Amino acid sequence: MREEDMNCKEIHELLVAYLDGEITPEERAYIEAHLSGCSQCHAELEALSATQNDLRGMLKSMADQVSPPVEAWDRIRQRAGIKDKIDQLAPKRLFSAWITVPLSIFLLAILVGGLFAGMGGMALPPPEPPSLVSDGSGGAFVFWNETPYNYGTRLYANHVDSGGNYLWGVEGKQIATGKVSPPEAISDGRGGTIVAWGDKSDLYVRRLDYAGNSVWTLEEAYPELGLQGMTGDGSGGAILLRQDKNEQVYVQRISADGVSLWKEGGTDIGRIQYAYMGMPVVSDGSGGAVVIWEDPKRDGVYAQRISQDGELLWAKDGVSVTSLAGETERPQLINDGTGNFIITWVEHSFDEGFRETVYVQKLSADGNRLWGEQGILIHDNTEMQSDPHLTADGSGGCIVAWRETQHLNFKASEMLAQRMSSAGEMLWQEDGVPVSDITQNSPSSDLGLVYVIGDDAGGGTVIWVADKYSGSQHERQVYAQKLNSDGQRVWSEGEIEVYKNPPFRTIGYSSVISDGNGGFVIGSKVSEGSNISKTDSVYMQGIDSAGNRLWGESGVEIQMKHSSPLLPIIAAVVVLAAILVLYGVFRGNRLAGILTAIVPVLIGIAALFGNLLLIGPFGYSYSWAYILNTPSNLISVAVIPIAGIVVGVVGIWKRTVTKWITIPVVVFCALVTFIVVLIIISGLF
């Protein structure tokens, strides 16, 4: 339709629709063009508009004055199917109130279930300590697993010289990948090292030179054999101890050239049920080895010697170390340097209540008991003795160190040591010499022995772990003290701290070797979080014969695993979701109002999950679950439940959803927040 085709009559017919906005944009353009040039039609439009305005005013005035009868409204509601307001709302209120009960139970179940998961011991076993081997020049080779066995791991190695320098790069060398068992390593006697490990399909033995180059690698397809220990054969080779799934234990000798010398699979020692609890093995000095183990079925500690040709030299099932009949644990074994072998162990007695005592025994080259039928009781008192460790004194005797705890309350612990002559006489005071003045008096404290090494002059150095308190700060520290041949403390009256002012909270799972000059080298797995089972960093320290730290105050960092960024990511996502919901609520969006009851539940579950990550029940299972108590993680885990509380409170304030639903949700988020605050406090103090 063109403008010239429209006359005044047609325009007049469209004016009402024009005022009501019920015409097309094209028609509106034509009408406005016509009105601009036709005064008559323009005057008619103004009159029509004034009439409409007057009519609206009259109708509004009449509506304000009219009050229809109540029965008329009743008839209207009845015809429309509208119920009375009281009849309509009362059931809803009752229904909403009943929603609170199952919702509260559901949220409480989530909360309790999450807490039990965190306290139920889901964290993996602590990682094995790094394996150390002296390089003969004051330094050491160190081998460690990135994570515990069976959870996907890698085997690394490095060489640290006497000055604390990395000789194989800052990150070391990756030796193997897969589910690698904890490594065993010894010196090759030529400035290098021999290391062995398994991966559930094969057993690997590799010799590395001083620079870390592979000299040879022996791979044996024994998928059912687990590595239990290794010692040198005295000729540059190694003797390996292995166990299969049927608990049969085998011994194999590897030459310095990487050749298996004994029969295929090794010499069968027998079925040893508790070999996994530890089977110390030492060289016999003649190309063979001696091994000991606990045997609960026969109530005692047993030993076996294997010749240089792989023949069993003692009784078929091993010789009994003691005539005592009782439960034993933690046997230790050394070669006394004169062709005999010294063993120590803990004996459990139930004759006069539960009691733990430490015994020592010497076996001859023929397996005969030399220190009495029972062995020698180190300290005959009512205290609880545990964790004995041995070292040779250089004269055919030994130094044994142990921990002693009060029998009744298990509160106070102290470190003691005793020197035994070649004939089994106690050379120091009868009840042992106190190694340190540190006594742990708190029931939650722990004092544990790490190692004791001899100086070949009748003295030795004791290294142990103890709790350290500095104001409100609590750490674990490694201490050391040197004793001379008379049992006197050499490093002043007090002990030394091996790691001075360390950047980590907890130290444990250490290995110690002699540096060959009266000092020692220690390698430790350390924890930066509150849960030591998440430990994955490795440090080393060298201490000279005078007790000086050789490699800095805190030692040398061998490997550091950083915390996963998962918690900050979760916190960022939660905050973004909370902002979007709140924006929708304040914009009047109905869906956002409904989400004020749903989102806090999801946020609360996310907060509980973050809390569990911080506690550490997932351990090493996944790389994303390695969460340390860093400031960013503590802040993140606190922000998450607070965001849920804010969304829930706004929902109650704006009445977007009935309070019977939002109140339990807010309480749930508040409880999670309270738990997280406790975690943060424990992480800070």
Over 207-251, what HEC string results? EECCCCCEEEEEEECCCCCEEEEEEECCCCCEEEEEECCCCEEEE
- Cβ-proximal residues to 546 (8 Å cutoff; 6+ apart), any chain: 491
Q: Label residue 554 by pLDDT band (50, 70, 90).
A: confident
DSSP SS3 for 416: strand
Structure letter (DSSP) for residue 621: S
pLDDT tens per residue, range 478-490: 889 999 999 999 9
Report the range of poorest mean pLDDT among 97-111, 334-348, 593-607. 97-111
pTM above threshold 0.75: no
Q: What is the C-alpha separation between 417 and 394, in angstroms, rounded? A: 16
End-to-end CA distance of the chain: 85
- Cβ-proximal residues to 197 (8 Å cutoff; 6+ apart), any chain: 155, 175, 176, 180, 181, 182, 183, 184, 203, 204, 227
DSSP of 312-367: B-S-TT-EES-S--S-EEEEEEEE-SSS-EEEEEEEEE-BTBSEEEEEEEEE-TTS
Distances (CA, A) of 391 to 11, 238, 356, 419: 117, 21, 21, 10
- Which alpha helices (H) appear in 66-151, and where do they start and end? 70-80, 85-119
Nearest to 377 by CA among 347, 412, 414, 403: 347
Backbone angles phi, psi at 645, to 5 degrees: -65, -45
Q: What is the C-alpha separation between 518 and 508, in angstroms, rounded? A: 23
> Residue range 453-481: average pLDDT?
80
pLDDT tens per residue, range 257-310: 999 999 888 899 988 877 666 789 999 999 999 999 988 777 789 999 999 999
Report the range of poorest mean pLDDT among 4-18, 152-166, 397-411, 555-569. 4-18
Are 229 and 182 a contacting pair, CB within 8 Å?
Answer: no
> Residues for the chain: how many in total?
685
Domain ranges within the chain, ordered by starting residue: 3-66, 93-120+564-684, 224-320
pLDDT tens per residue, range 328-383: 778 899 999 999 999 999 887 766 666 788 999 999 999 999 999 999 999 877 66
Q: What is the C-alpha separation between 373 and 359, in angstroms, rounded? A: 12
pLDDT tens per residue, range 122-177: 444 556 788 999 998 999 999 988 776 556 678 899 999 999 999 999 889 999 88
